Structure 1
Amino acid sequence: MSAPKQEITKEEIKKEFQLERMILFSDAVFAIVITLMAIEIHLPELKEHEHYTTTTFLTALKHILPTVFAYALSFFFIGMMWYKHLKMFSLLKDYDLGLIIRNLVFLFFIGLFPFGSSLVVLKQEILLPTLIYSLIILLCMAAQLVLHSYILNSGKNLIVKVDVAEQRIELKKRIQILITMLVIATLAYFTYLMIPAEADKSYASLWVFVFAIIAQLINKKKGKKTPVAAAKK
């Protein structure tokens, strides 16, 4: 009777090792993306025989502030995506082809961040670079939600024996926030187009405050449901 037990143990160890490889690969993608974005932060090149003075150095620092801001924003978002990815994969005990494909699609969109952050710091008078960067963010969120949903709905084949009720509430909340983002982004875009004066077009960004209020309401609403669900148990 000891032989079958030993065989099952070896199989479990093998699955755990292969799942660990998937997690390490994902972590490597996150780390490389953050590194590539940091490489974009550099002072402007000086002409031949020129040297930095205090004034020119401060001017150069001011010049790279948009790049630093784009890096900080992207770093925060990628860090948040990594944390949610970590929480999702902590539920897993096995993997399948569907999980691998969805994880690769998610990492594909994460890999576009260096390109997106390089666009938003360009000196431009068109909205398209900002729209592309925003689209990358939305695609990352959507891809991770698809991956999260697949993990939670995979049954007992892939996840460990834990209660995922709170995870399901979190998933519904994130889906609602993503839909809200899409609606607000569309309204902001059309508001931008409808404002005739170029100097007033920045008012379209006020839709961000509407999104913040709605997102806060969604968080409070779902937060109240969690203790009730726990009490029923």
Structure 2
Amino acid sequence: MSVIKEPKPLHRVFELERLILFCDMVFAVAVALLVIEIKLPVLPVKMPVDRDYWELMRPTAYELLAFAVSFIFIGNFWVRHLQLCRLLQNYNEGLIHRHLFFLFFIVLFPFSTSALLHTSSHFMLPFFIYLCNLTGCLAALFWISYFIFQKNPDLTMEGHHTEKTLLYQRLKYGFLTMATGFTVIAMTYFLYPDNTAYQRISYIAIPALALFNHFRLKIKKRNTLRLVHKTGPHS
């Protein structure tokens, strides 16, 4: 008994473009909301000569710094997402749901960034909210890459095996770095709530892991490219 299968649709360009354009719009809105909250302090009509201008401008300076940090993170997530989308040729409902999960954390950035400004030595919750936001973005990006490269490779273009492998590894290590670092920091605060020395040392976990995984990725990339040169290009 033969089963007649419906012909697989060709490249659904319009629908896929809508998905990507919607993501770009969310990125743009998130960046706009980041900067819209930054305002100059109210200056008095007559400024005393001995007035400490730094004390007056400090809140705005911190807001600009938080904006710059979040802008760098959002920009990096956009670049990684663009690299993923370059390899897509189709989509399904699973991909849409995972994109919505990713975009949830992107639109959360204005909130977590504004919360970050209220962090103090006695109130670390905003800092942990920001770390959760970063971890969520990296987890969602890795989830998307796992879904399209491992579970549904037919959603991607044929070939480009080396590029897919390296991008998947980069997103996996990025997520593992942030998740492990965040866990180390959270556990340190939980186990040593009054030990500020241990708490400050725990901050090194994320950059140390990032540096370690950076070199691991370089080694993997070199080995992968060496293997490609030996066996011949297949992408």
1:149 corresponding residue in structure 2: 146
Contact 1:180 1:211 in 2 (8 A): yes
Contact 2:41 2:57 in 1 (8 A): no
Residue segments in structure 2 that go unaligned for 5+ positions in a row: 1-6
Alignment of 1:66 with 2:94, yes or no, is no
Moved more, 219-228 or 191-200: 191-200
1:73 Cα deviation (Å)? 0.9
1:118 corresponding residue in structure 2: 114
Describe the SS at the equivalent of 2:22: helix
Alignment of 1:79-118 (within 5 A): 79-118=75-114
Superimposed CA distance per residue, residues 144-169 of structure 1 (whole angstroms, 9 cap, x where no aligned partner): 1111122223233x222232333223
2:45 corresponding residue in structure 1: 51
Which residue identity is paired with 1:20?
E
- 2:39 and 2:171 map into 1 onto residues whose CA distance is 35
Percent identity reads: 31
Describe the SS at the equivalent of 1:196: coil
Which residue identity is paired with 2:80?
K
Superimposed CA distance per residue, residues 181-223 of structure 1 (whole angstroms, 9 cap, x where no aligned partner): 3222222233345263547743332334422432233222222
Moved more, 128-137 or 215-224: 215-224
Structure 2 residue corresponding to 1:36, chosen from 33, 37, 52: 33
Q: Cα 1:146–1:20, aligned 2, differ >3 Å: closer, same or farther?
A: same
Q: Cα 1:127–1:52, aligned 2, differ >3 Å: closer, same or farther?
A: farther
Q: CA RMSD in A?
A: 2.5
Describe the SS at the equivalent of 1:64: helix
Number of residue equivalences:
219
1:41 Cα deviation (Å)? 1.2
User: What is the TM-score when the length of structure 2 is the normalising length?
Assistant: 0.82
1:84 Cα deviation (Å)? 1.0
1:227 corresponding residue in structure 2: 225
Contact 1:152 1:164 in 2 (8 A): no
Alignment of 1:183 with 2:180, yes or no, is yes
Q: Cα 1:200–1:164, aligned 2, differ >3 Å: closer, same or farther?
A: closer
Which residue identity is paired with 1:66?
Y
Structure 2 residue corresponding to 1:214, chosen from 191, 195, 212: 212
Describe the SS at the equivalent of 1:80: helix
1:4 corresponding residue in structure 2: none
